Structure 1
């Protein structure tokens, strides 16, 4: 068990190279961009006691670390700490979104999803842009969103990129950005065959989005660890909030203690009752 803990803790020595200090929340690039885009959209910074702020914060709260649940994929991320929530008002995008909802009619089911991006303020002002997406993504060109906050966090500085100031993927000092958006799913396509190359773009005829959830669809479990939603038309998305947040991570000693405790607990569970997590057969 000690060997396993050491292997996990040493996956990337950069995980543990951080200063345990309060985040610097001075004037950020995001705040400057509010002024630049003020003519195109309005944003209201919510007070921390307001119900909407609390609802967004709750949406980004991560569950406690649990080996059996497969949360190891987000290691060493511990929590996402919301610093500011900006409510977006953009009449042009709202009208476009409303027209698309009306066009979809009964199939215009709306889900609130997350999209991590350093361009969050540009998205709030101009909307999402499918044309800027990459063709080599799993499902081709499209805007990718997720209900999972830890997955959205991986894109806060760009696609799996570190913070530009400290070159640290798990930086606890720099402020990160993500967009909370309403998404019109329309008629979703559920991938039935896992492919090693991107599916054709746009979405297969007759569908409006792709919904890929490894928990319910074994066909995508080889490629995804958390749910993803892909849409192919900008008007299906409406940015509602821009969130500024920082993260906290597990320290080496804390992580080793938690893993040790949970492994000892798991060893007391009969094989037939162990969860189908990454450690279900590692004893």
Structure 2
């Protein structure tokens, strides 16, 4: 069972999330004019089943790595299915190897990059079919991503080599990238922490 606990606007956690979201706006060649966010609500995600699954996969990966710890990253994920993800978790079955780094669940450390996928890949809002719509409410998830053994590619690849649990791709290392890109291979490696409901300011 999933619960959403709304944060108060003057709560420290709310202000921290709001500040970071605004600080991670970048310019993208995507036809979506974005100068700011109009944040409607920020809620804490409470789902004990997803937390249990997340803890279990962490233990399995650490055992496989013969390690005591591995990198944990807080990243953004934009999706029209955010409410379903909060309930059921992430699943790689909705991904395919046509993605830049193959099958996986993709995340970003810039809110504006994840905002591009708020309606899906290259999709617009359902009522207006407009990627740059500033009227319809979008959903952005802040997630805790357990990276395990990280693959750091130098070029796009359709399949991550065996023995790796995630991808961390950097611009300058991967020539076609403008901004960092991250992916986990197992959906349970990513735990939704907060749901941000917002509209964009052109």
Q: Normalized against structure 2, the TM-score is what?
A: 0.90
Aligned residue in 1 for 2:158: 199
Q: Which runs of 5+ in 2 are unaligned?
A: none
Matched residue count:
196
Structural mapping, 1:7-86, within 5 Å: 40-62=1-23, 71=27, 73=29, 76-86=33-43
- In 1: Cα distance, 2:104 partner to 2:25 partner: 32
- In 1: Cα distance, 2:16 partner to 2:198 partner: 14
> CA separation of 1:60/1:113 partners in 2, compared to 1, >3 Å: closer, same or farther?
same
- In 2: Cα distance, 1:43 partner to 1:112 partner: 19
- In 2: Cα distance, 1:107 partner to 1:73 partner: 38
- In 1: Cα distance, 2:175 partner to 2:69 partner: 26
Higher relative strand content: 2
Q: Normalized against structure 1, the TM-score is what?
A: 0.65
- In 1: Cα distance, 2:83 partner to 2:11 partner: 22
* 2:179 counterpart of 1:226: yes
* 2:54 counterpart of 1:93: no
Higher relative helix content: 1
- In 2: Cα distance, 1:241 partner to 1:63 partner: 16
Aligned residue in 2 for 1:237: 190
- In 2: Cα distance, 1:149 partner to 1:57 partner: 11
* 2:120 counterpart of 1:158: yes
State which of 248, 266, 269 in structure 1 corresponds to 2:201: 248
Which structure's relative contact order is higher, taking Cα pairs within 8 Å and 6+ residues apart?
A: 2
Please tell me whether Structure 1 or Structure 2 has the larger radius of gyration of its CA atoms.
Answer: 1
- In 2: Cα distance, 1:64 partner to 1:145 partner: 15
Q: Which runs of 5+ in 1 are unaligned?
A: 1-39, 66-70, 250-283
